[in-house]
Amino acid sequence: MNPRLSPILLTGLLALTLASFTADAQDRLKSMPGYARFQTMSKAIPDSVKLGALTVTWKDGGKAFEYQKDGKRWRYDIAARQATELVTGTNASAAKQPEKKPERPTPRERPERGRQYTNAVSPDGKWRAFYRDRNLWLSATNSTNAIALTTEGSEQSRVKLATANWVYGEELYQTTAMWWSTNSRKLAFYRFDESAIRDYYLTLDETKVPNRLDVEPYMKVGTTNPLVDILVYDLESKKTVKLDVRGGQPFDNAVVGHYVYGVSWTADSKELLFHRTNRRQNIMEWCAANPDTGQCRVIVREEWLPSWTENLPPFRFLKDGRRFIWTSERTGWRNLYLYDLSGALLATLTRHEFEVENIVRVDEEAGVVFYMARDGDNPMKLQLHRVGLDGQGDRRLTDPAFHHSVDLAPDGRHFIDVAQTHDTPPVTRLLDAEGRVLGELARSDTTKFKKLGLKPVELLQFKAADGTTDLYGMLHYPSGFVPYRKYPLLVSVYAGPGTVGARETFTLPNTLTELGFLVASFDSRSASGRGKRFLDAIYQKLGRVEVDDQAAGVKSLWNRRSVDRRRVGMYGTSYGGTVSATTLLRYPDVFQAACANSAVTDYRNYDTIYAERYMWIPQENKAGFEAACVMNYATNLQGRLLIFYGTADNNVHPANSLQLIHALQKAGKSFDVQVGPDLGHTSVNRDRMMEFFIDNLVLRKPPKYRQPSAGMKRPG
């Protein structure tokens, strides 16, 4: 320091130095290894492949189609096998304009998560049913002459009509609680009796003065559920009929009718259709009700007593409004069945020992059904099939080496096929109804991908923790990957029931790799698409089986020279946050860091419908709930843990994270916490998360693993 500098100048220089240091300290990621390359590559990777997936518009009943490619509009004549540019010369610029997307409801028009629409306009446009002050109201469409159709709803009685409980919206997808008949003469609606439900209190607007209280009758697992009924109002007679949704049985845990949902009308308005299950959700019935008498009958009954049934199996009506195609897992595999509304099984359409995914089209004139199924060379590759409405002549129409998405022509004689795999970008082709390739329309361009030095994502196959079940995963590499260099590994996870960690749609490398990481994702025995018996492995064992399989996925990479097994982290949100925290605590020899966002830390904190579907009730599965409780493993913490939660999370309540924080504090552990003031069910800022992982998996010397002591919880 120059001794002749004045005190004022010295003070100014010091202030500038401190300001510079503070700015760097508050955005540390910029000074961390790999940031400059990450900044460049994270912008380049999303556009590194010009995808050859086209969307077409069929013309002339299927004889031609139009599509946009390279900024131009084309028309393809199938008979001539020729594409013609539609716009040339001075109008070329117009062809480059993207097609106007159909307008969607704005966030203001859509109900919030777990909530229901508060209005329902009759099909003839004359009436508006609406929810007000816990009751059902009716008015003209212009809101004049409003009258209350019900009056019993009140805060004092804790009865409400024309709306639903939040958990019904979240777990049973009930976005409306009012259903007009197709002829606009009758109106069905919910009645909820929540008098036996305890309220849950959540403080909102914590960053404001004053804050406010959100009060919700939220059914915690193992506690009482609301009594739910469906009523029907007749506009002509002005009478209301209560449907017998429980078949005269008392409201209890075993009765099929404990949950009532999935409501709709038949095409002729003669019956109201609905789903109902028992509380355990291993018996589901699709029922029809007479709106004049309230009497109900069962159309289709599904049982899967070893675990749970699908609450809302997909179905599709045929044109007569009587026959329908039903999806069922009754054999252990999703298959298709043709029924009549009388309940008569008309035909078994498929008998596969692989999963039917969805119906693409029903061609009644040709007497066939087109559907997608998981019978590629691995279960992630969807294939197009065609089968007769009598269940005969089933045929696969696509190449099992690829995953397919298709668009059938209106006349059923041709289809557009977009074929791809995890590392093969899409190609769009025209095929005939027999699956013969007639021409290629577009192929992906990987020139930039190769120029950037990007490495294709690798599909992994490994054994689950049981040592026998085959599972899949994906491994992402940074550009300029050096095979003999050791890289820290990040695992991105969700792993909840019916979700996957691997896929066969083309996947670009995760941009986080450019910060010097390998990034992986793994299936667990909770993965979808593998059949009902496959999923039964997790029943009453959440927090164990899927966690064990995530650890098995990482262990399968231990023999790779490029994977630094001493520097492994995991991150996820919601169910993924739960798995992240649990794996770190149960497998301290496998994971050294984890970021747990909005995690359920004890399923006794969560709602009845979701938690009981997979875990049943704590009163009868105490060992299962105890084994899944993250707090029970707090003494195991050896690595670094970042916990994030939003103070306004009305799905996974803040109590989950707070209980884990409390347990870790009692165990004398060091960990990190980020809080999202007034945020809901979400995640920590990505940059802050990556600072955490770079700090603990790159810059810091990895902690030495200690063998579990007598006081530490072991896996399982």
So what's the pLDDT on residue 8?
A: 39
Res 102 pLDDT > 80: no
Mean pLDDT of 610-635: 98
Report residue 89's pLDDT band, with 50, 70 and 90 as the boundaries: low
Give the confidence band of 490 by pLDDT, cuts at 50, 70, 90.
Answer: very high
Average pLDDT, integer, range 420-431: 98
Q: Among 340, 360, 370, which residue's Cα sits nearest to residue 266?
A: 340
Q: How confident is the model at residue 99 (pLDDT cuts 50, 70, 90)?
A: very low
What mean pLDDT is predicted for residues 580-604?
Answer: 98
Strands (E) across 162-306 are located at 178-180, 186-193, 199-204, 212-217, 227-234, 240-242, 259-265, 272-277, 283-289, 296-303
What is the pLDDT at residue 602?
98
Mean pLDDT for the chain?
93
**Percentage of the chain modeled with pLDDT above 70:** 92
pLDDT for the residue 716: 53
98 burial type by CB count under 10 A (0-12 exposed, 13-18 middle, 19+ buried)? exposed
pLDDT digits (tens, 9 = 90+) for 130-186: 999 999 999 999 999 999 999 999 999 999 999 999 999 999 999 999 999 999 999
pLDDT at 93 over 80: no
Helix ranges (H only) for 86-134 are: 92-95
CB 713 within 8 A of CB 586: yes
Tell me the C-alpha distance between 557 and 8, whole Å: 60
pLDDT digits (tens, 9 = 90+) for 367-419: 999 999 999 999 999 999 999 999 999 999 999 999 999 999 999 999 999 99
Question: Is 60 exceeded by the pLDDT of residue 18?
Answer: no
Q: Residue 90: pLDDT above 70?
A: no
Q: What pLDDT does residue 96 have?
A: 47
Query: Is the pLDDT confidence value at 108 over 70?
Result: no
* Tens-digit pLDDT profile for residues 43-57: 999 999 999 999 999
Is residue 561 predicted with pLDDT exceeding 60?
Answer: yes
Residue 505 has pLDDT above 60, yes or no: yes
Q: What's at 697, amino acid-wise? A: L
* pLDDT greater than 60 at residue 528: yes
Q: Tell which residue, 473, 552, 548, has the closest CA to residue 518.
A: 473
Burial label for 393, CB within 10 Å (0-12, 13-18, 19+), is exposed
Q: Is the pLDDT of residue 24 over 90?
A: no
pLDDT score of 322 more than 80? yes
Distance CA 232, CA 190 (A): 9
Reported as type and span, the H/E element at residue 672 is strand 672-676
How confident is the model over 339-380, as pLDDT tens digits? 999 999 999 999 999 999 999 999 999 999 999 999 999 999
Q: How confident is the model at residue 6 (pLDDT cuts 50, 70, 90)?
A: very low
Domains located in the chain, CATH noted: 56-95 (no CATH), 111-312 (2.140.10.30), 461-699 (3.40.50.1820)
Q: What is the pLDDT of residue 101?
A: 47
Q: Provide the residue type at 193 as one letter.
A: D
- H or E, element range at 439: strand 437-443
Task: Assess whether pLDDT exceeds 50 at residue 15.
Answer: no
In the predicted structure, residue 12 carries a pLDDT above the cut 50? no
Phi-psi label, residue 316: left if phi above 0, alpha if psi -120 to 50, beta otherwise: beta
Number of neighbouring beta carbons within 10 Å of residue 36? 11
Examine the pLDDT at 100 and tell me if it is beyond 60.
no
Share of the chain above pLDDT 90, in %: 90
